[in-house]
C-alpha cells in the first residue's frame, strides 16, 4: 500500500444514460461540525441508525475532505464549487466578521434556477450576499430562530413537507439543501441548553419538547474518544453531549428521507450527506490537519445500485459536490456573465457520479484546502487550551499552546506511519522529492484558483513592468 501524505502550509466515466424525460431531484444534507460518529465509520458507541441505513443504500467515502475547515467558508465553497480564497468568503459571515462572497460569484442555486430547477434551503445558511446565494424557498436563521430550523427536527420535517408539496404542485425537479445545526456547540449562545444544545427539546422542565426526537444519552466514561482529543473528564463529557445531538441529527435525517418516500420521490432523488468541517476540538475545526479536514460522506443514487453499501477510497473534496450536482441535473457550469474575469474561472472539482459505478485506478489522488480566517481575530480559536495554560494546568495533549499557535511555515506528514501527525518530516533529506512535488502542485492550484495569498508569507503578487497579465511574486525581504 502506498503512503498517504499530507502537506500543510500555515498560509492559512462511466455513467448510466438516463432519458432526459426522467425526473431528477437532489437533497444535500449537511451536518454542522459532525465527524464520524456512526457505525458505518466504525464508531461502536454512538447510535445513528438512519445514517447507517443511508450508508447501506449508498456509497461510503473514506477519503472525503473539506476545502476549508471553517463554517461559512466551507458552505460557500460547497455552494459555489470555488475555494473560499477564490469566492471571497474568507471567514465567518455574521456579526463583526461580516465576510461575504464576491458579488459576481456564480452559485449552485443560481445555476439550477436558471435551468428551471426549483431550489430550497432549510436550516443554517451562514453565507452571503443574498444575491449570490438565492433560493426559491428559504427557511433559515435569516427569517427564523436557528434553533427551530436547525435543531427542531419536527419543524424541519414540516418545512421539508411544505417544500416537497410545492415542488410536486409545480411539477419541477428540485434541489433541496437541508443544513442541520446539530451537532454544533451552543454553550456560548444558549448555555441553558448545554454545551452542544443537547438539552434543547428533550422534554425536561424549561427545555421544551421536540415531538419526533427520542434523546439518547451516553455515559462519559464509555464514549469513543477521538485520538486527537485530550483524555480528560471534561472532554469526555463534551463528547457524550455531542453524541446526544448526533441522535437528533440522525433522527432528523430519517424524517427528511421519510418525507421524500411518502410523496413517492425517493426513486428519483440523489441524496448526499456530509459535514462542513471537523469537530470543534483541538486539531479539528479551523485546522488543516486531518481531524479538521476529514469528513463523512455518503451518496445514494436511485439510478446507481452497483456499489451500494461499499466504500470508496478515492480522494474527494467538498469542492466536488457542485460539479456532482450539476452533472446529475445535466447543467453546465457557466461563470457569471457580468464578471469581467469569467475567462479565468473554472471549477477544479470533479463529478463523483462515476464513483457510484466503479472504483477508479487512482495513483496520484490529491485534494487541496486553504484556511484564511475563522473568527477575524483568531486563526486557530481554542479556548480550552488557552484557559488551562493560563491556569498552569496539564493539557494532557501532544502539543503546548505555543506550538499550537506558532507553527512552522511548512509541515509534511506521512499518514500511513504517523496518522496522528506528530512527526513533521519536512526537513528530512528523504522527504525533499515529495515536498518539491507537492509544493509545486499546490502552487499550480493556487494559480488556477487565483489565490491572493499565493506569495505569502515572504512576498506579494505584483505585475511585471505594469503588465497585469504578467505577474510574479515580489519578495518583501530586505
Active-site position among 46, 71, 186, 455: 71
C-alpha cell at 52: 447507517
SS (H, E, C) the chain: CCCCEEEEECCCCCCCCCCCCCCCEEEEEEECCCCCCCHHHCCCCCCCHHHHHHHHCCEEEEEEECCCCCHHHHHHHHHHCCCHHHHCCCCCCCCCCCCCCCCCCCCHHHHHHHCCCEEEEEECCCCCCCCCCCCCEEEECCCCCHHHHHCCHHHHHHHHHHHHHHHHHHCCCEEEEEECCCCCCCCCCCHHHCCCCCCCCECCCCCCECCCCCCCCCCHHHCCCCCCCCCCHHHHHHHHHHHHHHHHHHHHHHHHHHHHHHCCCHHHEEEEEEECCCCCCCCCCCCCCHHHHEEEEEEEECCECCCCCEEECCCEEHHHHHHHHHHHCCCCCCCCCCCCCHHHCCCCCCCCHHHHCCCCCCCCCCCCCCCCCCECCECCCCHHHHHHHHCCCCCCCCCCHHHHHCCCCEEEEECCCCCCCCCCCCCCHHHHHHHHHHHHHHHHHHHHCCCCCCCCCCEEEEEECCEEEEEEEEECCC
Answer yes or no: 12 catalytic: no
Q: Catalytic site residues?
A: 71
Amino acid at each position: 500500500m502506498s503512503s498517504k501524505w499530507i502537506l500543510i502550509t500555515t498560509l492559512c466515466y462511466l455513467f448510466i444514460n438516463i432519458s432526459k424525460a426522467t425526473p431528477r431531484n437532489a437533497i444535500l444534507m449537511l451536518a454542522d461540525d459532525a465527524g464520524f460518529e456512526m457505525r458505518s465509520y466504525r464508531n461502536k458507541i454512538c447510535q445513528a441508525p438512519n445514517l447507517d441505513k443511508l450508508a447501506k443504500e449508498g456509497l461510503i467515502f473514506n477519503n472525503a475532505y473539506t476545502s476549508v475547515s471553517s463554517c461559512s467558508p466551507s458552505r460557500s465553497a460547497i455552494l459555489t464549487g470555488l475555494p473560499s480564497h477564490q469566492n471571497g468568503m474568507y471567514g465567518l459571515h455574521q456579526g463583526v466578521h461580516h465576510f461575504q462572497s464576491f458579488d459576481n460569484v456564480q452559485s449552485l442555486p443560481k445555476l439550477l434556477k436558471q435551468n428551471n430547477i426549483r431550489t430550497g434551503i432549510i436550516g443554517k445558511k451562514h453565507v452571503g450576499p443574498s444575491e449570490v446565494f438565492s433560493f426559491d424557498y428559504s427557511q433559515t436563521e435569516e427569517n427564523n430562530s436557528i434553533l427551530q430550523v436547525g435543531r427542531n427536527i419536527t419543524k424541519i420535517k414540516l418545512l421539508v413537507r411544505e417544500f416537497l408539496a410545492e415542488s410536486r404542485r409545480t411539477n419541477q425537479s428540485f434541489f433541496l439543501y437541508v443544513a442541520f445545526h446539530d451537532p454544533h456547540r451552543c454553550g456560548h449562545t444558549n448555555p441553558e441548553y448545554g454545551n452542544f444544545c443537547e438539552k434543547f427539546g428533550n422534554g425536561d422542565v424549561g427545555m421544551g419538547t421536540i415531538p419526533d426526537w427520542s434523546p439518547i444519552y451516553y455515559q462519559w466514561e464509555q464514549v469513543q474518544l477521538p485520538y486527537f482529543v485530550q483524555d480528560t473528564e471534561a472532554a469526555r463529557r463534551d463528547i457524550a453531549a455531542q453524541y446526544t445531538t448526533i441522535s437528533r441529527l440522525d433522527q432528523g435525517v430519517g424524517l427528511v428521507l421519510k418525507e421524500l418516500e411518502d410523496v413517492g420521490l425517493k426513486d428519483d432523488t440523489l441524496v448526499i450527506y456530509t459535514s462542513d468541517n471537523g469537530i470543534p476540538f483541538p486539531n479539528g475545526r479551523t485546522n488543516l490537519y486531518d481531524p479538521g479536514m476529514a469528513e463523512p460522506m455518503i451518496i445514494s443514487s436511485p439510478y446507481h445500485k452497483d456499489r451500494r453499501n461499499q466504500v470508496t477510497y478515492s480522494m474527494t473534496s467538498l469542492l466536488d459536490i457542485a460539479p456532482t450536482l450539476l452533472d446529475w441535473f445535466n447543467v453546465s457550469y457557466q461563470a457569471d456573465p457580468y464578471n469581467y474575469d469569467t475567462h479565468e474561472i473554472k471549477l477544479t472539482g470533479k463529478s463523483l457520479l462515476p464513483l457510484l459505478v466503479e472504483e477508479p485506478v487512482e495513483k496520484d489522488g490529491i485534494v487541496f484546502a486553504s484556511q484564511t480566517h475563522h473568527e477575524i481575530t483568531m486563526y486557530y480559536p481554542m479556548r480550552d487550551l488557552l484557559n488551562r495554560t493560563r491556569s498552569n494546568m496539564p493539557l494532557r495533549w501532544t502539543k503546548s499552546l505555543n506550538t499550537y499557535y506558532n507553527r512552522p511555515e511548512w509541515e509534511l506528514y506521512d499518514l500511513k506511519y504517523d496518522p496522528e501527525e506528530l512527526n513533521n518530516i519536512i526537513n528530512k533529506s528523504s522527504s525533499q522529492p515529495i515536498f518539491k512535488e507537492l509544493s509545486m502542485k499546490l502552487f499550480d492550484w493556487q494559480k488556477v484558483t487565483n489565490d491572493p495569498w499565493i506569495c505569502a508569507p515572504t512576498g506579494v503578487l505584483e505585475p511585471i513592468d505594469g503588465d497585469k497579465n504578467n505577474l510574479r511574486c515580489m519578495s518583501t525581504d530586505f
